[in-house]
Structure 1
Amino acid sequence: MENTENLVNRIMQLRFTSSSLSRRARNCQKEENAEKLKVKKAVENGNMDYARIYAENAIRKRKERMNCLELRMRLGAVSGSLGPQAKTWTISEAMGNIVKSLESSLATGDLQKLSETLYVFEMQFVNMDVQAEFMHLPMARSTSPSTPEYDVNSVMQEVADEYGLEVSVGLEAS
């Protein structure tokens, strides 16, 4: 019982951490967009050095967001695989109690009680089979996104294209 409670607590901690990572990823997206606006303003003012710095900041925020999302997905996969484990432990404990009940029913010779206990026992097996079938499913579904590599020039060009600006100073033709 103690192991099951600890496991459930850890699963809840993983889910809480996962939602914290989601919030952090959203904040990084906002910060990245703010840095891109700074790139736009710097390009409009002809200050390519500042534009480059802001583009580097935008890239850092994009990578941080991607790392948060990847970690969130991995935590989700772990908590998804631990959930069925906790349920399996709970079922194991319940089945142990049912076995004790079966033993007492056999000892007393009460066929009605024996029949009811066997029915509950069979239902536990059905539940365990269903849960075992889905135990590894979350891990199979999870895939790690590959973090794309962006360079400063591509971000500057992306922002310039988005706002219809000319950026040619210090940029190589793509």
Structure 2
Amino acid sequence: MFGFKSNDEIIYEVVFQLKLTSKQFYRNYRKFQNDVVSEKKKIKKAIQQGDTERAKIYASNAIRKKNEGLNFLRLASRIDAVASRVQTTVTIRTVSKSMGNLVKGMDKAMKSMNLEQISAIMDKFESQFEDLDVQTQVMEGTMNQSTTLTTPQEEVDSLMQQVADEHGLELDMELPGAANHALTGDKEQDLLTERLTKLRNS
């Protein structure tokens, strides 16, 4: 992939590939966010029709899509952090030969959209900078419990109550304390979005 290119040229291509991957993941995140909005509209309609079972299904879908979107946001933030670390090597002129192989591996992982493989490659990228003392804290645990197929009932009930409250609707079911719970992950999402914006503008 790199042939007889200089260190600076290698760095440029590495950073370009990282940023390209990050943008793709951020687009995926926004798509999932749009899906969540769509599912919430379905929840509202189902509640209006008194169909709580259908509302539960839509609420579960919304929470699952929200969590899947957050996985892409976490990894996009992590990749951006690695890209900024790679750029620092221009100054110190230190490029590991293995970096090219890591980018090749990322190409393959991107084609299959395998988040676990990409996360593992990020681990290897980060390890390249430990000896250079330029590694910073990045988001970890990309694939965590939020990827599970089952959605906690409390989150489903909470989202249904949230939608009902937003539109002044009466929800025909008992939801103990649901009105006091916001959709889990909102605070984390805001922090990640803010961090990603700062990284992109740096």
| Shorter-normalised TM range | 0.5 to 0.7
Normalised TM-score (structure 2): 0.56
The structure carrying a bigger helix percent of its residues is 1
1:144 shift after superposition: 5.9
Normalised TM-score (structure 1): 0.64
Pairing 1:67-146 to 2, within 5 Å after superposition:
67-89=71-93, 136=134, 139-140=136-137, 142=138
For residues 165 and 153 of structure 1, the distance between their equivalents in structure 2, rounded to whole angstroms, comes to: 14
The answer (yes or no) to whether the contact 1:39–1:55 under 8 Å persists in 2 is: yes
The answer for the alignment partner of 2:32 in structure 1 is 28
For residues 160 and 40 of structure 1, the distance between their equivalents in structure 2, rounded to whole angstroms, comes to: 7
Structure 1 segments unaligned to the other structure (5+ residues): 91-134
1:49 shift after superposition: 1.1
Runs of 4+ off more than 4 Å: 142-150
For residues 168 and 86 of structure 1, the distance between their equivalents in structure 2, rounded to whole angstroms, comes to: 62
Of 12, 19, 22 in structure 2, the residue corresponding to residue 15 of structure 1 is 19
Aligned-residue identity in percent: 35
**The structure with more radius of gyration:** 1
For residues 136 and 164 of structure 1, the distance between their equivalents in structure 2, rounded to whole angstroms, comes to: 52
1:26 shift after superposition: 1.2
The answer for the alignment partner of 1:157 in structure 2 is 161
* 1:58 correspondence with 2:62: yes
For residues 64 and 76 of structure 2, the distance between their equivalents in structure 1, rounded to whole angstroms, comes to: 18
Of 175, 178, 185 in structure 2, the residue corresponding to residue 172 of structure 1 is 175
